Amino acid sequence: MPLSISEAEITIEALTREVERLKGLDIVVSNTAHRLNTPLGAIVASLSILEKHMPEYSSRFIPLWQLLSSEEQALYLDLTPKVLQNTNNITTRAERHERARLEAHLQGRVPDTEVVARQLQESKLTDLTTIDKLLGLPHSTEMLEMLAYRGIIYNSFHTLQTSAELIKDYVAFLNMGRDEKISTATAKPLQLKKKLDAVLASFPPELIEGVDVQLNVNPQVIVHADAVHLRQLLRQLVGNALHALNKAGTLNIAATADPSHITITVTDDGPGIAAELQPRIFSLLVTARNQGEGSGLGLYIAKKIVESYGGEISYTSGPRHTAFMVRWPVTLR
């Protein structure tokens, strides 16, 4: 039996909604694959590095330690904390510049300046005075090799930990999009600046390279939140700003406090949000990024997080200026 015009219109509308839902699902699935492939690839690479370097370090360290003088042992122990610092957020350009500086300083003093400069960099030993002191010791070459191994091994373990946290966070992120309301039962006092530092360090160096990041947050500012919720909120706001800047411009992150609220502001001088997207920017499956680069979940979930804690999120946007403001209650309801 033929459909009436009104029935046909209803059917077409339902089909259109289903097509839009499936398109949104496709975007989410594609973005999920991308978001998970990156940390999974890092895990595989880190395991490969550990498999290669751990046996070498284990077999050589004790015999070397027995050869070192008391002065050399003291210096080795003094340098170890420098090695156990993660520097994965250094940009490729900065890394090349630092390597060139080290090679110039070592020129004519060691047999292979390129190899030694790489080892110094892997060991985070870039202070020239410290380098001169190390190179003046009898077993400097062997010490430097062991310090480099420790740096590589430490960074690999750090990458494993960070990658696992990213996967865990993204699964939680997807669950937040599904849940009607986000529970605040696990909220606890968190240092906002410490969380921001960790979020900035979690982005690929290439995304931050060329961006002037200005962090104006007092270390004493405390936010009561679940750690995953706060990390996801900050990651969405900061990540959106970095993508909008596209490796050029200024990102300013600031926080102020009054008796009732903490106000977090993330500002960039990128091109701004397209006018047609602005009324729907917090809606599900709406993204300001290029096709395939955004899931359309980020700001939707960011708003859900903030409102679950009794806060407010708003924004202003125009050419060369976009600012997202979060008002987070000092005392949770």
* H or E element that contains 280: none
Look at residue 158 and tell me whether its pLDDT is greater than 90: no
- Does position 14 have pLDDT exceeding 60, yes or no? no
Predicted pLDDT of residue 252? 94
Q: Model pTM? A: 0.58
Virtual torsion, Cα 300, 304, 305, 308, nearest 10 deg: 170
Task: Yes or no: say if 272 and 321 are a contact pair by the CB < 8 Å rule.
Answer: yes
User: What is the mean pLDDT of the segment spanning 135-140?
Assistant: 88
pLDDT of 148 reads 83
Mind giving me the DSSP string for 248-277? SEEEEEEEEE-SSEEEEEEEE-SS---TTT
Q: Supply 294's token pair.
A: 């955004």
Query: Positive or negative CA dihedral for 163, 241, 206, 194?
Result: negative
Any idea of the CA torsion for 57, 58, 61, 62, to the nearest 10 degrees?
-170
pLDDT at 3: 42
% of residues, the chain, pLDDT over 90: 24
What pLDDT is stored for residue 69 in this prediction? 93
Whether pLDDT at 29 is above 90 = no
- pLDDT top residue among 188 and 122: 188
Mean pLDDT, residues 298-324: 89
Q: Hey, which residues does 257 pair with through a beta bridge? A: 262
Mean per-residue pLDDT for 66-77? Answer: 92
Please state, in angstroms and as integers, the Cα–Cα distance from residue 239 to each residue in 144, 194, 242, 245, following that order. Answer: 37, 17, 5, 10
In angstroms, the CA 241 to CA 245 distance is 6
All structural domains of the chain: 1-178 (no CATH), 184-329 (3.30.565.10)
pLDDT at 60 exceeding the cut of 60: yes
- Enter the DSSP assignment of 85: S
Q: List all residues 6 or more positions away from 164 whose beta carbon is below 8 Å from its beta carbon.
A: 39, 43
